[in-house]
Amino acid sequence: MNRATAIHPAHPPMREFTVSNHLLGDPAALEAAWERDGYWFFRDVLDKDAVARLRHVYLDTMAGLGVVDEGRTDAAIWNGASLTDYPINNHGALERDPLLALNPRDTFVNEPKIRAFFEQLFGDEVFWVPNTEYHALAPHAGGEGSVFNYVHADGPNNPGLPLRIFWIPLVTIDEDLGGLAVAEGLHRPRMGDFPRPREGIDQNAVPPEAWRRTVYQPGDLLAFSMETPHSGLRNRSGDRFRLSMDIRGMRRSDNVPVVGTVAAVDASALAVDAEDGSHHVFRLDETTYCRIARGRLSGMPLDLGEISLLLKVGDPVYVASNRGTATFIRPQH
């Protein structure tokens, strides 16, 4: 599928994804496509009833905020209420963002048909890191400004985690709603390639012909590499919220991080009481990458001396490690 669609007159057309449905059940072919493109795109593979139940959580939450009216089950139509203090923004605190507080991901990934699909895809039980993003992006009519919200790759800010990112549309997401775009084949930097700083990638550095998107439907699934440049696209619809969820997973048999709460921390070590009842102590050194706040990229990672000052006993975290040294620490969300 190579049809080009212009999502906005000010931006060159973006080509369609290469669809990977025919590769399901062939792990070698799937991996070859991943190595070539840096993503998989699947049409109509997620159980639509499970997706509808997840969408209902969003719509019910948004109705409670007063920004949509009850009754619609297929879309989130803005009712004109003020969005000045709209809290679902993916950078809010747990106590402010009601979707983040509900955390419906676990219910969704444990739906039998959803669980079975991902276990087939991974060839293993899946470990989902507690780093889920719930997007209910408010409408913004008008043609001014870039179509890209934030061009970046996740790898530079999540070292030591061999994760795959899964972006799940919950409603029909057309050109006006924007959706997500990925840069095909640019997941492995080349000699003379563009800079990829932690703070984001200059959108003008990505060759325009590399961008891919589509009109997304509930049941579709986009998976992409931690190193794949990507960006949410501006919601120019004027009256609809864009609903999606993205989750990050790896094989359970890999070196999965420890998920739990901080039991103790000082300048050289971090102790974590894990959710399974086990206790772990990790060394801290100059290689430890610690992200302490959602939305904060400047100044990341923390200096070694800052970790013990900003991490507190009882904080929910997950920790990736290598031979007893913490390689990555991040708050759960």
When mean pLDDT is compared across 18-27, 177-186, 194-203, 310-319, the lowest value belongs to 194-203
Strands 289-290 and 325-331: parallel
Question: Tens of pLDDT along 193-248?
Answer: 888 888 899 989 999 999 999 999 999 999 999 999 999 999 999 999 999 999 99
Tokens at residue 281, please? Answer: 């102590």
Question: Prior bond to 207 cis, omega within 30?
Answer: no
Say what percent of the chain tops pLDDT 90: 77
Tokens at residue 9, please? Answer: 């007159």
What is the predicted pLDDT for the residue at 140? 81
Query: Is a pLDDT exceeding 50 seen at residue 303?
Result: yes
Instruction: Delimit the domains of the chain by residue range.
Output: 4-251, 258-331
What is the predicted pLDDT for the residue at 1? 40
- The helix/strand count (H/E) of the chain reads as 6, 18
Query: Is a pLDDT exceeding 90 seen at residue 74?
Result: yes
Q: Would you call 9 helix, strand, or coil by DSSP?
A: coil
Architecture of the CATH domain 4-251: Sandwich (2.60)
Residue 53 Rama label (left phi>0; alpha psi -120 to 50; beta) = alpha
What is the predicted pLDDT for the residue at 293? 62
Round the average pLDDT of the chain to a whole number and report it.
91
Domain covering 258-331 assigned CATH 3.30.70 in the classification: no
DSSP 148-179: BS--B-SGGGSTT---EEEEEE-S-B-TTT--
Question: Tens of pLDDT along 172-200?
Answer: 999 999 999 999 999 988 878 888 888 89
Q: What is the value of pTM for the model shown?
A: 0.92
Task: Give the count of beta carbons closer than 10 Å to the beta carbon of residue 279.
Answer: 11
What is the predicted pLDDT for the residue at 302? 87
- Under a CB-based contact definition with an 8 Å cutoff, are residues 26 and 212 in contact? no
Question: Tens of pLDDT along 112-127?
Answer: 999 999 999 999 999 9
What is the predicted pLDDT for the residue at 157? 87
